[in-house]
């Protein structure tokens, strides 16, 4: 958890009670899958978008909850899609993969779906349709009044709805972190777009700036402009931290649920 800004997302489950675990599926530790298995082929070819356990990732949907997979019998629906891809949705073709490998991937996805479907008490899935209840016009108005100081629909947010779907888009909108940028199983992505900047002023008056690694009561650590890790005792220097995400944190106490759904509806138009 050292990617943090001064505000860390508490991954529900990291500290959560014994009575009530959290986190959709426990991350599986242990050795990597044996080469050539469906799991290994899926990890190599599909996990980047669909998540290591096929329950959805940065840009690909949850395959255990997919109508296509549900309708598939022995690859009759999945094989053609994997071969040709879905260019309109950003999925590349996997024409070079031998059919035997694709069939192993199909079997693996079905096994994952069975796992999820036979865990009746576990957490359920949220689909993109579930959260599409807001008004685009109201969302645009809210955006113009509250978000436009930092964000531009035609600039930094252009195409955001193609990068993040459904729940991931909603989570990123509320508070973007490495954790909800991609499925945690992939280790997430570095938070470059929202890096927290820090400036340290030494007793001599000299300043050093960089990208925050962590800050606590006693030390501040960051990567300086040359890419070198630096740390200083907070008692010896002046520390100024600029967290661009603070505005997101401040909004949480102000949003109505309608505001959130309207904003999501507006962001979903930014394909």
Partner 1 sequence: MRSWHLAAAIAVAAVPALALAQAGQGIDGSAILKPAKDSWPTYHGDYSGRRNSPLTQITPDNVKNLGLAWVFATGRNDQIKASPILVDGVMYLSTPDHVWAVDARTGRQLWHYANPENKAFHIGHRGVAVYKDLVYLTTPDCYLVALNAADGTVKWRTKIADASKGYWSTNAPLLVKGHLLVGVSGDFDNLPGILQSFDPEHGDLQWVFHTTGEPGKTKPGDAMGGQMWMTGTYDPDLNLVYVGTGNPTPVLNGGARPGPNLWTVSIVALNPDTGKLAWGFQATPHDTHDWDASEVPVLVDAPFNGTPRKLLMQASRNGYFFVLDRITGKNLLTKPFAAVNWATGVDANGSPIPNPDKDPARDGRLVAPNEGGGTNYRSPSFDPATGLFIVSAVDGYGIYFFKPEYGDYGWAGADYGVYSKGMLRALDYQTGQVTWEHDLYGGGGGAGVLTTASGVLFTGDSNGNALALRTRDGSTLWHSATGRMGSPPITYELDGRQYVVMGGNSSLYAFVLPQ
What does the block give as tokens for 91?
């999925």
User: Least distance (Å) from partner 1 to the CB of residue 92?
Assistant: 29
User: Least distance (Å) from partner 1 to the CB of residue 121?
Assistant: 2
Cα of first residue to Cα of last residue in the chain, in angstroms, is 31
Nearer to partner 1 by Cβ, of 118 and 206: the residue is 118
Q: Does 30 bind partner 1 (CB under 8 A)?
A: no
Nearer to partner 1 by Cβ, of 18 and 35: the residue is 18
Are the C-beta atoms of residues 185 and 52 closer than 8 Å to each other? yes
Q: Where does this chain touch partner 1 (CB under 8 A) — which range of 15-23, 84-92, 109-117, 141-149?
A: 15-23
Q: Where does this chain touch partner 1 (CB under 8 A) — which range of 20-28, 49-57, 155-163, 197-205?
A: 20-28
Q: Does 97 bind partner 1 (CB under 8 A)?
A: no
What does the block give as tokens for 34?
């044996």
Residue 230 pairs with which residues in a beta bridge? 222
User: Least distance (Å) from partner 1 to the CB of residue 178?
Assistant: 13
- For the segment 138-197, give every residue that binds partner 1 (CB under 8 A): 167, 170-171, 174-175, 180
Contact track, partner 1, 117-146, x by CB under 8 A: --xxxxxxxx---xxxxx------------
What does the block give as tokens for 134?
């807001």
Nearer to partner 1 by Cβ, of 8 and 81: the residue is 8
Contact track, partner 1, 231-270, x by CB under 8 A: -----------------xx--xx-x-x--xx---------
User: Least distance (Å) from partner 1 to the CB of residue 40?
Assistant: 24
Q: Does 200 bind partner 1 (CB under 8 A)?
A: no
User: Least distance (Å) from partner 1 to the CB of residue 260?
Assistant: 6
Q: How many residues in the shown chain lie near partner 1 by CB under 8 A? A: 50
């Amino acid at each position: 958890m050292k990617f943090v800004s001064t505000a860390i997302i508490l991954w529900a489950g990291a500290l959560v009670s014994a009575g009530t675990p959290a986190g959709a599926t426990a991350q599986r530790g242990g050795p990597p899958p044996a080469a050539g298995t469906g799991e290994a082929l899926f990890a190599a070819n599909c996990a980047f978008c669909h998540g290591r356990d096929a329950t959805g990732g940065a840009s690909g949907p949850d395959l255990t909850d997919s109508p296509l997979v549900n309708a598939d019998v022995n690859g009759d629906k999945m094989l053609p899609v994997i071969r040709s891809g879905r260019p309109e949705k950003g999925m590349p073709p996997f024409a070079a993969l031998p059919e035997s490998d694709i069939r192993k991937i199909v079997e693996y996805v079905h096994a994952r779906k069975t796992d999820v479907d036979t865990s009746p008490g576990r957490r359920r899935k949220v689909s993109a349709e579930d959260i599409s209840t807001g008004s685009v016009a109201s969302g645009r108005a809210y955006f113009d009044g509250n978000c436009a100081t930092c964000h531009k629909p035609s600039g930094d947010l252009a195409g955001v709805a193609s990068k993040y779907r459904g729940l991931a888009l909603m989570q990123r909108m509320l508070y973007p972190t490495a954790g909800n940028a991609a499925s945690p199983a992939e280790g997430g992505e570095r938070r470059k777009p929202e890096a927290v900047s820090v400036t340290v002023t030494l007793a001599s008056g000299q300043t050093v700036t960089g990208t925050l690694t962590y800050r606590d009561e006693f030390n501040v650590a960051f990567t300086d402009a040359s890419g070198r890790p630096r740390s200083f005792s907070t008692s010896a220097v002046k520390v100024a931290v600029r967290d661009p995400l603070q505005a997101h944190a401040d909004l949480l106490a102000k949003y109505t649920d309608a505001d959130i759904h309207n904003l999501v509806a507006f962001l979903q138009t930014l394909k």
